[in-house]
Structures are given as C-alpha cells and as structure tokens.
Amino acid sequence: MAQVIADRKDIDFVLHEQFKVGDLAQHDRFAEFPKKVVDMVITEARNLAVKEILPTFKIGDEVGCKFEKGVVTTPEEFHRAWALLREGEWMALTRDPKWGGQGMPETIAIAARDYFIGANMALLLCVSLTHGAARLVELFGTAEQKETYLKNMYTGKWGGTMLLTEPEAGSDLGALTTVARKNPDGTYSITGNKIFITSGEHDLTENIIHPVLARIEGAPEGSRGISLFLVPKFHVNPDGSPGERNDVFCTGIEEKMGIHGSPTCSMALGEKGNCIGTLLGEENKGLAEMFVMMNEERLLVASQSLSSISSAYLYALDYARKRVQSAQAGVKGGAPVAIINHPDVRLMLLTMKMYLEGFRSLIYYIANCEDQKHVAEDAAQKERFQNLIDVLIPVAKGYGSDRAVEMCSMGLQVFGGYGYTCDYPMEQLLRDVRICPIYEGTNGIQALDLIGRKLGMKNGQLFTDMLAEIKKTLQFAKGVDAVGGLANRFEELVDGFALLSQQIAQDAKTPEALKRIANASPFLHVTGDVVMGWMVLWRAAIAAEALAKGAKKKDVAFYEGQLQSARFFVESILPVTQGRMAAVSDPGSAVLDISDDAFGGK
C-alpha cells in the first residue's frame, strides 16, 4: 500500500490560507519563521516521518516492549528513529533555544507532529511525555533544577514521565497514598506505587526523570495536600552525568490492546527505603502544577486522534480507488468498478474527510491561539486567546478522540474483511487509537470539565468568546455567495446552541443540575459538532473565495472538496446535532432513577 500519513496540500491550506502562519514572522519572537522556512520545516518533518519513523510502526506493534528483571527494552529499530529525532532537534520545537529548543510557533510544531505521530504514535508518546515533564521543570523548577535537567530532557538525551495514577486512585488524584518525608538536607524520601506509567522504564535514554505526585507527611487530605517532586532514575553527579541508581523501579509492563511499542509500566518507589526526590514548585501546589502538563498532554491526545483519522482516511481512500468489486449501483450488467463508486463507500469516505478536515483545523487553531497569545499587545487580548484554548481543549481531547475511534472503525469498514486482518494497517490503527478516549482524563471527565467548569468559568466568558469567534466566521461566510446559504443554516444551529448553553448554566444551582451532569457527554458531543461545523464552514468560505478569484487548475478539486465537506455537514450532520440538542435541552432522569439492581446481570 501507499505509505501515507497526512495530506500535505491540506496541511498547507490550514497553515497558510486559514491561519496565515507566515505572518507570525512579523513579530520579533517568531522572526526566523517566514513562510519559506515553515515550508522547509514541514518538508523535512514529512521526509523523516515517512522514510525513517513509519517503518517502525508495524515493528513496534509486532515486537513490542520486553520486560525482564526490572529492565524494559524497546524494539531495536526505535533507537535509530529516536537518534534521528534528537539529531534533527525535533524534540522541543517550541521551547527556548537556551534549553535545546528552536523557539518555533506552536502552529508549525503541531503540523510537524501531525506527521511524526501519524508515523508511529507509540514511539512519539515517549517524546511527548519527556517534553511535558521538562515543561514542568521550566515553569516551576529552581535554577539548579533547570540547569540539571532541562536541556538534557528537551534534547531527548534524558527521558521524562508523569507519575500520577495509583491502584486505588485512578482519576481521583486526591485519594493518592504515595508519601514524601522531608530529609535534613531538604530532599524527600518517597514511598509508594504508581501504575499505567507511559515510558516509566525504557532503553532509549540514559536517564529518566519522573515528576511524582505525593503527599508530604502531615499535609492536608485530598487534593489540597498534594505536592510535586522530581525523582530521577539515576541521581545526577556534580559533572552532570548519571550517577548512582535511585530507588525507583519498574515492576512490570501491561499487556495492552494497542500501542504495543509504548511501555506502560507499574512503578515502585522506595521499596528499599531510599527513593530520593526534590520538591518541584511549592508544597501542596502539586496538582495545580501537574495540570499544566495535563493540558499539554490532552492536546497531545487530540493530535494523536487527528493523526489516526488522517492515516485511516488516506489508507481507506487509496484502497477504495484500487479495489474493484461489483457493478455500479443502478447499472444492470455493468462491469465491476472501483469501490469508491459505490454510494455507501462514498458516504463513509466523505464522513471521514469532513471530520478529518474540521478536526485538523481545530487542533491547529488551538495551537495558533497559543501563538497569538504570545504576540498579543495587551492583557485583554492574551486573556481572550487563553479563554479559547481553555474551552476548546476538552472538546479537542474528548470529542476528537471519540470521533477518531469511530472514523478508524469506519476506515476499517471500507476495507471489508481485509481491514480486519493484519495484512493492512487498519486494525492496528483502531487498536492504537482506542486508548485516546481513556487516558489523560477519560472523556467522561472531559465532558464534566466542559459542562461543570468551563461553561460557567469567568461568568461564562469562555463560551462567550468562542461564540463570538464563530459569529465572525458566519459573517465572513455569509458574504461569500457559494456558501452563504450554508452559513444561514449553520447560524440557526449556533443560535440554538447559545441558548442551550445559557439554559444549562442557569440550571447549575438548581435541582436540574444533576440531570445536566448526567448528560455531560451528549453536551460535549453537541459542542464538538458545533465546533466542527465552524471549522468546515470557515474552510469552505476560504475555498469558495479562491475559486471565485480563479484558482489554479491543480487546486480546483481540492477547493471544491472543501465546499462539499461543508455541504455534507449541513445536510447530514447538522440535523443529527439538532436532535442531540433537543435531547440535552430536555433531558430525562432515567439515568438517575434506575436502581443498581435494575441494571440486571445477577
């Protein structure tokens, strides 16, 4: 099969026509990244992803990671890919060059990651966790901690993790039992067990730095008493080299449904009574500090979901163009045709195409908000961009990963029986992406975050800012003849959504609140549909303008495809969203009223 990950034409459209990322070079912070440099970066990322990382995709799944006597080994082929990522300085694209980064805009970096994650999601998990852990050091570390760890981590010389989950404290981090006892020298002795730790132990780096959530002896119970510590696998010598082994060990790795190339570890801290860590940030502020990393990782999960949809769609499209099966519908006695000519296959492909395009624009939009926040001229502008990031992250993670599982399943369906075999990559894509609705906060938690926190935050300002941005796109689209009618129909949905959001916010302190919480996930899906409609309409309006101005012949089909995606959303998805909105608007109470025994099963 063709080696496909992402459509370069679509990436260029989003970067340059939708978000005009080259304009960021007008600001001193991003002066080194004009359009020409952006294109070079994306070309190099694509080449590395396709030629060097993609060949490890199936190897990682079939060979997997091995655990023996506390040591975890990754597939041999991962080491070359890791070395190339390090040599090309791809590990921390957006970070300060002082610490090994390249100072790149987030929008460009997320496009590069579009290729890397699509090439091997399991391998890139280790890169992303390392970046996230290093970001905690950069934001909350002392000068000594930064000098010791930061450059080594941002360059991929050392790895990083996130030690949160415990056997009896999964999503409820306030229930953790890991204990930290302060030593006379200011360090802490840490004792506890953590599970489901991505890349907790591996052989890709010479050291691994673990940010660990623990409770200092005597600290308050619950989330108010949690602190954050840095626990290195190897203590660091005065010259910066790894020294004596710390008392933090992997006790086993999980046998999982997917992402076999990523070791998911159980970790024991202080079994020998000598696990030493240093406080990162302030005492009892660990959970708030860790959530900085969690938000970054949730956007990472959204990127993983995007890359999975992208690969699934392009593989399915390639197969549908080549697979010849049956005569075209309505043509008696006709010769067999490629299955892309069959209406049901076209329905699946157009569904995947629409979600892929809308979701790519959403992920890049969040990244672009981060860039715009950095170059904004006043505090009010910065706050508005942060509001947009905050309200869209649970949508991107929750809604996006739900759709990713659905789209990968749909792509497998295009292949028919062959998709279910290991001869094609579809079944692995589906197995790998299935983790995305689960980790970094289950999608039920994302839904609760959206309806329980983001909806009412700052007296509703986050939703107000998002709706204002959608209205800007509507005004633009209504001025473009080819999409004006679509914009009018979509505006009806947006107005209904605004009223629904107000209604739910008003019910927050009434007896209706519990019914609203029980319908948090449907509300998340409604919000996600509205955001998808926003993005595909925005894209269609840009494409329609380009066509009206006389687009180049080689671009006409692509632009026309944007219009058809928007049409499909309005004609086929919007009515379903209206039905969801009706259900969320007047939710029943069966979910709350059913007794435990009435579920049956005994």
Residue with tokens 């979509």: 490
List, in order, residues 6 or more apart from 232 with CB less than 8 Å away.
149, 207, 208, 209, 210, 242, 246
- Which sign, positive or negative, has the C-alpha torsion 113, 116, 122, 126? negative
Answer for the pair 289, 136: CB distance below 8 angstroms, yes or no.
Answer: yes
N- to C-terminal Cα separation, the chain = 49
List, in order, residues 6 or more apart from 66 with CB less than 8 Å away.
72, 73
The residue among 376, 393, 363 whose CA lies nearest residue 30 is 376
* Alpha carbon separation from 157 to 154, 277, 419 (Å, rounded): 8, 20, 38
How far is it, in rounded angstroms, from Cα 531 to Cα 396?
9
Extended strands (E) in 225-311 = 226-232, 234-236, 242-245, 248-253, 264-269, 276-279
How far is it, in rounded angstroms, from Cα 460 to Cα 49?
41
Answer for the pair 18, 542: CB distance below 8 angstroms, yes or no.
Answer: yes
The amino acid occupying position 114 is D
The amino acid occupying position 351 is T
DSSP H or E segment with residue 269: strand 264-269
User: Which listed residue (166, 289, 297, 440) is catalytic?
Assistant: 440
Is 440 known to be catalytic? yes
391 forms bridges with which residues in the sheet? none
How far is it, in rounded angstroms, from Cα 494 to Cα 470?
8
How far is it, in rounded angstroms, from Cα 105 to Cα 128?
17
Catalytically annotated residues: 440
